[in-house]
Chains A and B, each alone.
Chain A
Amino acid sequence: MSEVAERGPGRLRRLVDRFDLRAMPYVLVSPYFLLFTVFGLFPLGFTLWVSMHKWRLAGEKEFVGLDNYGFLLTNGNFWNATYNTIGMFVMATLPQLALALLLANALNKRMRGRLLLRMGILLPMVTSVVAVAIVFSQLFSYRYGMINWGLESLGFDRIDWQADRLPSWLAISTMVDWRWTGYNAIIFLAAMQTIPRDLYEAAAIDGASPRRQFWQITIPQLRPVIIFVVFISTMGGLMLFAEPMMFGSGRYDGGAAGNFQTIGLYIVQAFRERNNYGLAAAAAWLLFMLILIIALINYLFTNRIRGNK
């Protein structure tokens, strides 16, 4: 194209140049925005539309306004799912962040074979959620699970991990943490390595202990990355689906008493089992709202880390 232009008259050449400078950037970024509009933005809006209808796969679609939302907000099962989702999110995220920080701090030492160590703790990330859930569900099984076997060998009673709320949350949180702690540690590590050495040297001269240096230099310097990691964990934690589903033998009800049904499972149950698309769509929007609210709370909270300085 440009070869032709080069040989053509100057006017055309200038036009081509103008196009190249003005329009090419938009041409380069447009595939993303086009595809995102079709497969991201449109579904988001369409979900809102569906959520205000009595919508099944076949038959009339009847506009019902906010009825689906009203139903959900007064529905015990939905609140149960919300409670479970938030509970497991908190239960998984807090230890995960603490462990990741501890690990990153340990990995930050100058050490031989550090690449292998880093790869080792990152290995779980390679494993799919389904694979993790299958293996851990077996490890946590009541009769044949290694964890109950360990508990019994140590003289404790075996635990029915699926039957009660806290044990099931613990089992599912373990799956989440196993897969993601190393990943978060690598991200923290990356940020730790950008902290200037002289900050620590100055603190050491002033007589600050390593522990104090960690709290007063490392943590405040990591603030942006902590916000990032908390944000990613929030997204992942609130969308929990595969782990509780596989833990519950592939069903969407989250155990007989629904004690580990998440909003993700609730949405899919409403839509696949009950064929209630409107309700599923409304639940999806409420989940989206919940994510935004918790992201905001996280942001306000992590913002205060600066105060330690």
Chain B
Amino acid sequence: MKTILVLGLLTIGLLFPANSIAQSLPSGKNIADNTYARNEGISLNRTLTMELKDKRGKTRIRKTTSLRKYFGDEKRLAIFYLTPKSVMGTAFLTYDYPDASVDDDQWLYMPALRKTRRISASNRGDYFLGTDLTYEDIKLETRISKDDYNYKTIGLETVDGKTCYVLDGTPKNNTIAKELGYSKVKLWVDTNIWMLRKAESWDVAGNHLKTTLISDIKKVQGIWTYHKIEVKNHKTNHETIFRISDVDYKTELNDDVFTKETLVNGL
């Protein structure tokens, strides 16, 4: 019996040499590249509702129209607030340049002042308009950064019934860590559609900071689209739920939607 067990283990050892599972997994860079290669359409029009929930359960809801369009490799994103009515008209515009060394350009239109303010994009780790996602998180849109982290693919796990690559990411240096506000991330990327399904992050001091879950992923007009993002901040116990609806990739957006004039004039 003992001999059979040893022979069995030897056979398994010959068939599946040590580390072979890890070696067969794609590299972090490869996975990151695939998240970027995912089809996102040229232009996108959607309703984005943000539900902000504090630790006492008090909830504030912000409804926006979110528009995105690629101009070659450059991505432009505009968000127009629809509710609450007292901040209706607030609008945010960002130009995301393909060259990572070039800072994005960002503008915020404040209807109470009727003025458009330039916003520094260098603080990419700042939280986006009261939510639990940072400007950088918003910009990545379920892709994983190609330039900021050293990744290690550590295995396969199931999230929401789907198989995902699990990656550990550490910022390439302290400056990047401080900019992003994270000292470490753990990411779950769908092996089939190359979309982030779950993320855990730790702050610069090493404390567990946030859990992000991306769900309700389905094809819209042939393009894999997420419809819900839940972010829980473990330090503040604040929670943000992003709900995406009325997704439209087909109606081409005019270029001039992504201008300061449209921020002022509205949609």
Q: Do A and B share a complex?
A: no
Binding site for B on A (CB under 8 A): none
List chain B positions with a Cβ less than 8 A from chain A.
none
